[in-house]
Amino acid sequence: MTAGDGGGSEAASFLARLRVFEGLPAVTGGRGKDPVNAAMIRHWCEAMGDTNPAYTGPDAVAPPTMLQAWTMGGLSGHGGRSDAYDELLALLDAAGCTSVVATDCEQEYLRPLRPGDTVTFDAVIESVSPRKTTRLGTGHFVTTRMDVLADGEPAGTHRFRILKYAPAAAPAPTGPARAPARPRRPRPVVNRDNQGFWEGVREHRLLIQRCTSCTALRFPWLPGCNACASLEWDTVQACGEATVFSYVVMHHPPFPAFDPPYAVALVELAEGVRMTTNITGVPHDRVRIGMPVRLEFLRVDEDLELPVFRGGSEA
């Protein structure tokens, strides 16, 4: 049976096989490769444009959203992934769900992480969804829950969800032979926290969140203020002026719907926040730090428009 097969009884039987893995460990006895440290906190805050004084000085804590960063294995990876997790993924592969995409994550913070803390973690296969059909294809959502400890004390919970799916088949051609359709760019994940941002994009407005308690601006959109923790906010519209703060030129690996080489930049808006975007209007090898750029909206396809920044004489 493949993920796209019909038959309610077969689908129910396969789901029952998958759900045997719920509650089994995904990682046991994981350990962060480095203690929580000031250098990594500084790099994170510089990249995010986060100037909260709580993250500097002798009593500094790490930004809560760095919770997963301390558990990541880098290019060399981590040992300790369980046989159960590998068996679950192999079962999905055998059913035709050979592709994977990360969809979303949720975090809960129990205590601040401080420089010097040793991070350990265990992860469990929390749930496997019934078969779902998406634009990418048909498959199952797999959610793992990671419990993070600092020096043996519970520090937070990180839930991570992937979709293991069988890629949707291309529609059968009709009429004269045509050139293959260009692959579609990945769709942004729109949720309750960022829905207002994407509504603004549809109206050709770049909206920045503003805390109504301390007036701090924040981007990307978050459910609460990272300066004072208030949950109350409104928005301001960006004027569209920005400068390139940092950038990379993507050569490899190639992704469908993207034509390397192309520039991906972190731009600093005139309002003071930073965002990741594409640079248009100039060749990739002419992008420079400090280069002025100006907001424009790029129509990618019939139902996707993105904010990008144009360099060159028209910026």
State the Cα–Cα distance between residues 228 and 257, nearest whole angstrom.
Answer: 40
As given in the structure block, the two tokens for residue 110 are 């129990």
With cut-offs at 50, 70 and 90, classify the pLDDT of residue 1: very low
* CB of 34 closer than 8 Å to CB of 115: no
Please report the pLDDT score of residue 4 as a whole number.
Answer: 42
User: β-strands 132-133, 153-167: how paired?
Assistant: unpaired
With cut-offs at 50, 70 and 90, classify the pLDDT of residue 2: very low
Beta-carbon contacts of residue 197 (< 8 Å; ≥ 6 apart): 207, 220, 221
Top pLDDT among 113 and 168 is at 113
Q: What is the CA radius of gyration of the chain?
A: 22
State the Cα–Cα distance between residues 139 and 4, nearest whole angstrom.
Answer: 8
- Cis peptide leading into 307, omega within 30 of 0? no
Residues paired with residue 150 on neighbouring β-strands, in sequence order: 119, 153
- pLDDT of 173 above 90: no
What's the start-to-end Cα distance of the chain, in Å?
A: 54
- pLDDT of 223 above 70: yes
- pLDDT of 174 above 70: no
As given in the structure block, the two tokens for residue 12 are 């129910």
Please report the pLDDT score of residue 170 as a whole number.
Answer: 62
State the Cα–Cα distance between residues 274 and 238, nearest whole angstrom.
Answer: 11
| Residue 31 falls in which region: left (phi positive, over 0), alpha (psi -120 to 50) or beta | beta
Please report the pLDDT score of residue 3 as a whole number.
Answer: 42
- pLDDT of 248 above 80: yes
DSSP conformational letter for 81: B
With cut-offs at 50, 70 and 90, classify the pLDDT of residue 204: very high
Please report the pLDDT score of residue 10 as a whole number.
Answer: 87
pLDDT tens per residue across span 252-277: 777 778 888 999 999 999 999 999 99
The secondary element (H helix, E strand) that includes residue 17 is helix 8-19
- pLDDT of 5 above 50: no
Strand, coil or helix: 267: strand
Please report the pLDDT score of residue 135 as a whole number.
Answer: 82
Rounded mean pLDDT of the chain? 89
Please report the pLDDT score of residue 313 as a whole number.
Answer: 60
With cut-offs at 50, 70 and 90, classify the pLDDT of residue 175: low
With cut-offs at 50, 70 and 90, classify the pLDDT of residue 315: low
The secondary element (H helix, E strand) that includes residue 263 is strand 262-269
Least confident segment among 14-23, 143-152, 220-229: 220-229
With cut-offs at 50, 70 and 90, classify the pLDDT of residue 171: low
- pLDDT of 180 above 80: no
State the Cα–Cα distance between residues 78 and 47, nearest whole angstrom.
Answer: 25
* CB of 37 closer than 8 Å to CB of 45: no
State the Cα–Cα distance between residues 193 and 110, nearest whole angstrom.
Answer: 21
Q: Work out the average pLDDT over 20-26.
A: 95
Top pLDDT among 48 and 217 is at 217
State the Cα–Cα distance between residues 142 and 122, nearest whole angstrom.
Answer: 17
